[in-house]
Amino acid sequence: MSTLNGIFKAALLSAAAVALAGCGGGDGGGGGGGGFPGFAVAPVATPQTPTTGATAEPPVALNPADPVIPGNVVDSGGKFDPVAYRATAAAMSGQEGIAYRYGPSAIDYGNVKLELPTWGQREDHEFVSDRNGGQRRCIPGNCGTWQVGNLSSTEGGYSSNIGHVAFVADAPAQRVGVSDLAISSVTNNVFSQKPELSWTNYEQGLDEINALTYGPGARKPVALGRCYGRPLWCMNSIMVFQDGLIGSAQSNTAQNKSTAQLAPGKVPTAIAVSNSNEFAFITVWDTVNLRGEIAVVALAGLCDRCTPGEPGKWYDYWQEWNGVYPGLPNLGNIAFMKVLGYVPLPDDMKAPTEISVTTGVEWLDYLSNVPGQETPYSLSPLSDAGKRSRFKSRGAYAKAGVAVVVSKSEQKVAFVDLKPLFQYYQSQYLEDANFRETTNLGMADSQWPRTFAAASQQVPTVIKTMSLPSRPTAVKTYLWGANKRAWVATQDGKLRIFNLGDFPTAGTGSAASITEGGSIEVGLNPTGIAYAKAKAGTAIYPDYTKELIVTSRGMRQVSWVRFGSDGNSGSVVRKLNDTRLIDPIAAEDTDNHSTESYVLSVADYGGKALRNYRYGPVIMHNYRGERYETLGGPSGFEYGGAFNLPGQAFQITGANIP
């Protein structure tokens, strides 16, 4: 028996002793090997409100309704276990790692007789290749499908959402574990709402195209990240793999390639990208020094298929920078990345599991594609002192930020001040005396962007940690607006609201200003929190910035949560269940462009699929304004279809592509 299997077996035996409902639950596994065989869990009790205000707090008692974690790195007495730590880290990308990170499924909780609806589904219609008399310039048999509307011979305004889905591959030696998929699109007066391989990839298969070129390290994904602070302009995902490889994914019109590598012994667990792709933040377990850290990666976008070493080939690409400026806002077609270093987390947070970040910058403040404003392209190169001065005076860049990190085993949430990082980059790019240092691009510590070893003043600092009464399972931060909030989901089925107080701030903030507020019941084991994305109408989202979409694995449910005007309270306003949705772990909303639509993609781990559901009308604004309600009516749902995967889906990110 391996060390890891021994740890898992011990965890399950312990679980049998503490389970309130005794033995049961059948085979367990949630349909995909990520479950907890042999025990069931009774409904949770209401936990006590945690204390707040201290910089660091002692371990709290385990919520008795929380099942024991397979591979837990902290024992029931709160003692850290180095052997379990290293073993669980080694399995982070596999079924054992999913069981550790995402906890029990509905089957594990004994929720096997849920009364679930079966939402209606429309018929698929094949697009016809131009080679066979059709209009789509595609390879016959790989032209895609449509489900809604009336096909026209006029192409009209084409737009699409492309997504990247991460899955635990059945055959990891043969599959990357990340796939590029067409999520939704509109053309020829019809709407496609079924996830499928994009016709624009011309039969290149389901393995993520960039990752196929990155070598053997691009296998066994742990997490996907994407910026969300710039609607319609967060082009691609950042992938991070078990072996520490970090790489940019692609879409058909944004194909840049870039990679970086975590140091040996540092195992990634989650990734978040700042509002406009300035930096990626990756939680890691340092299995050598036995500590939790945040890896900080500087990112730079460029024109499509452009490289930093060939400036003669750069061109105007959606007004993107005509230069390589890591750490400045960009459109997400990443052509350069560099690991700057590692932010040490407190000693009582050795095992971080999720992270979210925000700069608080309003999306309309960015320069690109806003009428009457200069663009990054027009302000390039920043070596021109006049252009640099105009960029500085406009102030369309982040001055500060905050990261929120949770640890499942240690039942902690940490708040990290990113102001030192962003202010260092301001001083380098925008102060005439320092700008020359940013022109020496390279991977050495002393080259730009300089690493933490060469410029320690940029290292983010931990503001405070707080204890939680139940295991944290997911976290999200606000993107912009007056209500500075973070939300932490816990395994007992609560979405907990945290007021970020003074943060993010370019000034001096107080740790005491960060406090916990109320909570909202969202269903057992909420494993994913997604942002609602901008729509033209307000019937479904009166204010999309005040809504979140929460996936509850323990209830096979997705809930839409709407917050009050002050951000301190909220309620569930819509719930999605479906008989086809076997074991949901995460979900992602879609962007709109020209046609208004409401499509949600759900990563169904046990069902080994990515499933789409429409929860609002399709309105063809770019045709004749034709409107198509869901088959379930104005307040119901419609099943868009599924893309079946050779493995178990656990994360999904997506966006409209230019």
Q: Where are the beta strands (DSSP E) in 482-636?
A: 485-490, 494-499, 515-521, 526-531, 547-552, 557-563, 570-576, 584-589, 599-604, 609-614, 618-620, 626-628
Q: What is the pLDDT of residue 367?
A: 57
| Six-digit token string for 613 | 């559901």
Q: What digits encode the pLDDT tens for the residues 562-610?
A: 999 999 999 999 999 999 999 999 999 999 988 999 999 999 999 999 9
Mean pLDDT over 311-340 rounds to 97
Q: Comparing C-alpha atoms, which of 624, 626, 600 is closest to residue 613? A: 600
Sorting pLDDT into bands at 50, 70 and 90, what band is 372? Answer: low
Question: How many residues are listed for the chain in this entry?
Answer: 658
Alpha-carbon distance 605 to 611, whole Å?
11
Alpha-carbon distance 466 to 55, whole Å?
7
- 67 has a pLDDT exceeding 90: no
Q: What is the pLDDT of residue 370?
A: 57
Q: Comparing C-alpha atoms, which of 162, 230, 172, 238 is closest to residue 200? A: 162
Please, what is the Cα angle at 542 between 650 and 536, to 5 degrees? Answer: 80
Residues ≥6 apart with Cβ < 8 Å to 328: 278, 300, 321, 376, 397, 425, 429
Contact 170, 645 (CB under 8 A): no
- 56 has a pLDDT exceeding 60: no
Alpha-carbon distance 620 to 185, whole Å?
11
Contact 76, 63 (CB under 8 A): no
The CA distances from residue 606 to 100, 430, 541, 609, in Å, are: 15, 50, 30, 8
The lowest-confidence range among 425-429, 462-466, 503-507, 614-618 is 503-507
* CB-side neighbour CA atoms (13 Å) of 334: 33
Q: What is the pLDDT of residue 70?
A: 82
Q: What is the pLDDT of residue 76?
A: 80
637 Rama sector, left if φ>0, alpha if ψ -120 to 50, beta otherwise: beta
Average pLDDT, the chain: 89
Q: What digits encode the pLDDT tens for the residues 206-253?
A: 999 999 999 999 999 999 999 999 888 899 999 999 999 999 999 989
- Where do we find the tokens 């929120």? 404
The lowest-confidence range among 29-43, 183-197, 329-343, 459-473 is 29-43
Mean pLDDT over 32-50 rounds to 31
Q: What is the pLDDT of residue 16?
A: 32
Mean pLDDT over 294-305 rounds to 98
Q: Comparing C-alpha atoms, which of 656, 600, 654, 606 is closest to residue 102? A: 606
Q: What is the pLDDT of residue 20?
A: 28
506 Rama sector, left if φ>0, alpha if ψ -120 to 50, beta otherwise: alpha
- 59 has a pLDDT exceeding 80: no
Sorting pLDDT into bands at 50, 70 and 90, what band is 136? Answer: confident
Alpha-carbon distance 216 to 211, whole Å?
9
- 26 has a pLDDT exceeding 80: no
**In which element (H, E) is residue 463 found?**
strand 461-467
- 302 has a pLDDT exceeding 70: yes
- Higher-pLDDT residue of 373 and 381 is 381
Sorting pLDDT into bands at 50, 70 and 90, what band is 65? Answer: low
Q: What digits encode the pLDDT tens for the residues 588-600?
A: 999 998 899 999 9
- Higher-pLDDT residue of 566 and 19 is 566
The lowest-confidence range among 139-153, 162-176, 191-205, 283-297 is 191-205
- 561 has a pLDDT exceeding 50: yes
The lowest-confidence range among 151-160, 176-185, 323-332, 521-530 is 151-160
| Six-digit token string for 482 | 């007056």
- Higher-pLDDT residue of 244 and 68 is 244
pTM: 0.90
- 35 has a pLDDT exceeding 80: no
- 27 has a pLDDT exceeding 80: no
